[in-house]
Chains A and B, each alone.
Chain A
Amino acid sequence: MAQDDKQLIQEVTQSEYKYGFITNIETETAIKGLTEDTIRFISLKKTEPEWLLEYRLKAFAKWKEMKQPNWAQLKIPEIDFQEIIYYAAPKRKKELESLDQVDPELLDTFNKLGISLDEQKRLSGVAVDAVIDSVSVKTTFTETLSKHGILFCSFSEAVKNHPDLVKKYLGMAVPPSDNFFAALNTAVFSDGSFCFIPKGVRSPMELSTYFRINAANTGQFERTLIIADEGSYVSYMEGCTAPQRDENQLHAAVVEIIAMKDAEVKYSTVQNWYPGDKNGRGGIFNFVTKRGICKGDHSKISWTQVETGSAITWKYPSCILSGDNSIGEFYSVAVTNNHQQADTGSKMIHLGKNTKSTIISKGISAGQSQNSYRGLVKMTKRATNSRNFSQCDSLLLGDKCGAHTFPYIEGANKSSIIEHEATTSKISEDQLFYCQQRGINQESAVGLIVNGYAKEVLNKLPMEFAVEAQKLLSISLEGSVG
């Protein structure tokens, strides 16, 4: 590689996080540490019913017996779970009815991110459930949605207003004891989003949640539950950026999707949390459990993710294809730069007959980062005539980063087909020069080439997200050249 390129990689990989700013909002926090009392405090704060407190406490008991997983290709610094504050909510004086009542500084934060609720509301027709720290500040468009019978609200509200639905479906896709971080989430989750699409209803708009982590030393434990009843359809978007911090922040969210017969759920994520500085200091630990169940026949769940942030990402959005002829999809672009580490992928568990799954994973590593794909495709005995196609591509920028692929395949019947393709490539100097010779500078050229590489996945994103994601890819890698 030429000297110039090397220098450029350095410059770019050293560029600071562009969304690093802190909002001063008074927060009301629980004291540090995790005991049964902490959980009771959270439950009390949220005026939860007894059954939910019991549910949390059971999960906590399980969690205490579990060990933090260490099988991923990640170097995770030791986390002291007693040093974490488990609840933080912006102080509110009264219920908010319109955007005017939202803390102006909060709105300003959204403006800095270019996702002002106001604008979103007017221009794109997107219903936004904005989550800052742990309490939903404002839910919009609820009225329009409720005309269609769609429930879209904060998790806390759902617990209050639709306890039967929550009780019925909570933990169906991700049981409390599923894994260490899911158990932790179940014990201490603070808030999140709840969505229910009734029978035969196609959601007239994309549902969207923006998450932000905003209080120092506060773990984020979001809980999302999406239920698509028979024959319904919903496209759900989750996106996030976080202010710059020195301390590592733990984020252990759980997302559950349940798709009934003939239902379809499209779940898209753009994740841009603070990745730490160029020396690998700070940044978010993103340990997320996302899983969907295609419960009914002919149901479909599709995960699309663009992961550019976080210091450490541990995340495997998965599908359990329980219904016959059900379909699971996973499309992912994961970018790591500087000292970021990502171990991400998907699990496709084929239980029903004639089930189909697709995994398209595009990893992009730059700087001194490590980027791993880890995936499991499992065809059970009953899942006859099922198919999977997996494609895992890695793109390297520079010569100090790493890309790894860990595909696991289990086939228990003879009529199913599993296909796996994998490639590793580098951005070639010839490609860059070709672009430059046409008048495109090196940074734009890398953006162009990387977006081209990730196109298959970006195309799966809803329009308004795709544009943001493209910018994000270019920003995250500005100029890093291989």
Chain B
Amino acid sequence: MLLQVKNLHVSINGKEILKGVNLEVNKGEVHAIMGPNGTGKSTLAAVIAGKNGYEITQGEILYNGKNLLDMPPEVRAQEGIFLGFQYPVEIPGVSMTNFMRTALNEIRKYHGQEPMSAKDFLARMTEKKDLVELTSKLTNRSVNEGFSGGEKKKNEIFQMAMLDPQLSILDETDSGLDIDALRIVAHGVNKLKTKENATVVITHYQRLLDYIVPDFVHVLFEGKVVLSGGKELALELEEKGYDWIKKETENHSK
């Protein structure tokens, strides 16, 4: 098993956000995590990636059988976890090329590999940016600086392609995307899918799942996974709305 989230309880400033989340992801699978706003989707992604400021009060996360919560964020990344950010930050003065080269070589170093030669690196850049139709004009700029919302999201998928992670978590990658950008981003994600890696797509809308077809859909509601199913669950959810989930859980708890 690639990722195993067991009874995860997470608080921010004493307020419990995740209240016992369970999730299992195997290689070769695509999972979608859906749910209304403020229900803990992004918190789950951030905690898996190792962001500061979250208090894990209970539970554990295993990644390839290793305790993920013991690892600093960069080690998680080096181990193959990639987070596609909902709001990618700008880093002025640091070129995308330099940024990617540093990241790629740090990951290689972790695995005992030599830094990639400039020639191979540039060839890889060219190949991967074509995948998401990103122009050289953008990759020559500073990290995310002056990128439009859509370009930032494409840039996330570009980085995912460059770093070739084992587990990608895409946090609301579809938010703020027009239909063309959405199609390009989804195409990129689908192209990168192999039997050896897995993707967790976090989304509010079913729309993205027309393009990235999940093997499993989980509904996160009030800090818990309340429903899991196949791709048809997403459609059902779209049709009935989140109120339906609300009623279901209320009935369930009665």
Contacts and interface: CB of A to CB of B under 8 A. Distances in A.
Contacts of A430: 89
Residue of A436, A441, A453, A455 ringed by the most chain B CB atoms within 10 A: A436
Contacts of B91: 431, 434-435, 448-449, 452
B73 A2 contact: no
B83 A437 contact: yes
Given A428-B89, A444-B106, A456-B93, A437 B77 contact: yes
Given A5-B52, A433-B51, A439 B107 contact: yes
Nearest to B108: A439
B102 interface: yes
Interface in B90-122: 91-94, 98-100, 102-104, 106-107, 110
A436 B73 contact: yes
B159 interface: yes
B103 A440 contact: yes
A364 interface: no
Given A5-B52, A449-B94, A451-B94, A431 B103 contact: no
Contacts of A16: none
Contacts of B52: 2, 4-5, 429, 433
Interface string B55-99: 000000000000000001110111000110100110111100011
B73 A433 contact: yes
Given A2-B53, A5-B52, A452-B94, A438 B159 contact: yes
A442 interface: yes
Nearest to B46: A433
A150 interface: no
A454 interface: yes
Nearest to A428: B89
A438 B53 contact: no
A2 B78 CA distance: 22
A454 B88 CA distance: 22
Nearest to B82: A437
Contacts of A2: 52-53
A358 B182 CA distance: 44
Contacts of A437: 49-50, 73-74, 76-77, 82-83, 85
Interface in A409-458: 428-431, 433-442, 444, 448-449, 451-456
Interface string B27-52: 00000000000000000000001111
Given A439-B74, A439-B163, A454-B93, A434 B85 contact: yes
Nearest to A450: B93
Contact of B142 (A439, A440, A452): A452
A453 B106 contact: no
Interface in B133-152: 142-143
B94 A436 contact: no
Contacts of A441: 72, 74, 106
A452 B102 CA distance: 13
Residue of A433, A438, A439 ringed by the most chain B CB atoms within 10 A: A439
B75 to A, nearest CB: 8
B99 A448 contact: yes
B229 to A, nearest CB: 30
Given A436-B72, A439-B106, A440-B106, A448 B98 contact: yes
Contacts of B89: 428, 430-431, 434
A448 B102 contact: yes
A442 to B, nearest CB: 7
Contacts of B76: 437
Contacts of B143: 434
A435 B93 CA distance: 14
A454 B104 CA distance: 23
B93 to A, nearest CB: 3
Contacts of B103: 435, 438-440
Contacts of A429: 52
Given A429-B52, A439-B163, A448-B98, A434 B88 contact: yes
Contacts of B107: 439
Contact of B74 (A428, A442, A453): A442
A204 B23 CA distance: 66
Contacts of A453: 92-93
Contacts of A449: 91, 94
Given A433-B51, A438-B163, A444-B106, A452 B93 contact: yes
Nearest to A362: B93
Nearest to A2: B52
Contacts of B73: 433, 436-437
Nearest to B85: A434
B140 to A, nearest CB: 13
A435 B91 CA distance: 9
Residue of B51, B52, B83 ringed by the most chain A CB atoms within 10 A: B52
Nearest to B80: A439
Interface string A448-481: 1101111110000000000000000000000000
Contacts of B104: 439
Residue of B72, B100, B103 ringed by the most chain A CB atoms within 10 A: B103
B120 to A, nearest CB: 18
Contact of B102 (A5, A433, A434, A440): A440
Nearest to A425: B92
- Pairs of residues from A and B, 3 with the lowest C-beta to C-beta distance, nearest first: A452-B93, A452-B94, A2-B52
20 contacts: A2-B52, A4-B52, A433-B51, A434-B143, A435-B103, A436-B74, A437-B73, A437-B77, A437-B83, A438-B163, A439-B106, A439-B107, A439-B110, A441-B74, A444-B106, A448-B94, A452-B91, A452-B93, A453-B92, A453-B93
Interface of A: 2, 4-5, 428-431, 433-442, 444, 448-449, 451-456
Given A5-B52, A433-B52, A438-B103, 13 more contacts: A2-B52, A2-B53, A430-B89, A433-B51, A434-B89, A435-B99, A437-B73, A437-B77, A438-B99, A441-B106, A448-B99, A451-B93, A453-B93
